[in-house]
Amino acid sequence: MPTKLVIGLDGAGSGNRALSYGKNLAELIGDCEILVVYVIEWSPFSFHTPEENAQRHKRREEELKIAHERVIDPALAILKADGVIASGIVQHGDVAETLNRIAIEQGAQQIVVGRSSEGGFAKRVFGSSTSNLVMHASVPVTVIG
């Protein structure tokens, strides 16, 4: 059974650094599979009319598609071009909780995330989300600078 790594992407520089580190680690390990993950921060605790919920659902689906095209697909192309076995997931939710849940569900041995970026993930993650991920993850977490 291959070693599995979850790489948290942010669509910016720190995610690229985490991806590069994960790719290098996978090559060192040998029998390794990478799961690249992009989490769109989303709170389920909003109350809307049925019409607003329908629009919200449509917007969620559009966000998932755009994130796959702009973040996940390019990362997978880089990994697969270098012969790394990889797949990708985009989900809505709390960044730390979602990355940890996916790692557990997928049987990953490690989560790799970037420490800082030009925006997005870093603002969400290296504050309380990164702390929560590092403190409560079920597997080791590597934070890349």
Domain segments of the chain as ranges: 59-83
Contact 141, 111 (CB under 8 A): yes
The band of 134, judged by pLDDT with boundaries at 50, 70 and 90, is confident
Contact 64, 40 (CB under 8 A): yes
* DSSP output for the chain: --EEEEEEE-SSHHHHHHHHHHHHHHHHHSSEEEEEEEEEE--S-----HHHHHHHHHHHHHHHHHHIIIIIHHHHHHHHHTT-EEEEEEEEE-HHHHHHHHHHHHT-SEEEEES--SSTHHHHIIIIIHHHHHHH-SS-EEEE-
Given this model, what pLDDT does residue 85 score? 96
Q: Is residue 76 left, alpha or beta, with left meaning phi > 0 and alpha meaning psi from -120 to 50?
A: alpha
* Residue 142, phi then psi, degrees to nearest 5: -110, 125
Given this model, what pLDDT does residue 125 score? 46
Given this model, what pLDDT does residue 129 score? 72
Lowest-pLDDT range of 5-9, 97-101, 124-128: 124-128
Given this model, what pLDDT does residue 122 score? 47
Contact 40, 31 (CB under 8 A): no
Mean pLDDT of the chain: 86
Given this model, what pLDDT does residue 10 score? 83
Residue 19 has pLDDT above 90, yes or no: yes
**What does the pLDDT average to over 100-126?**
76
Given this model, what pLDDT does residue 58 score? 81
The band of 45, judged by pLDDT with boundaries at 50, 70 and 90, is low
Residue in this structure with the two tokens 């790719």, named with its chain if needed: 23
Residue in this structure with the two tokens 């909003």, named with its chain if needed: 46
In this prediction the pTM is: 0.84
* Separation in Å, CA 39 to CA 10, 76, 123: 8, 16, 13
Given this model, what pLDDT does residue 47 score? 62
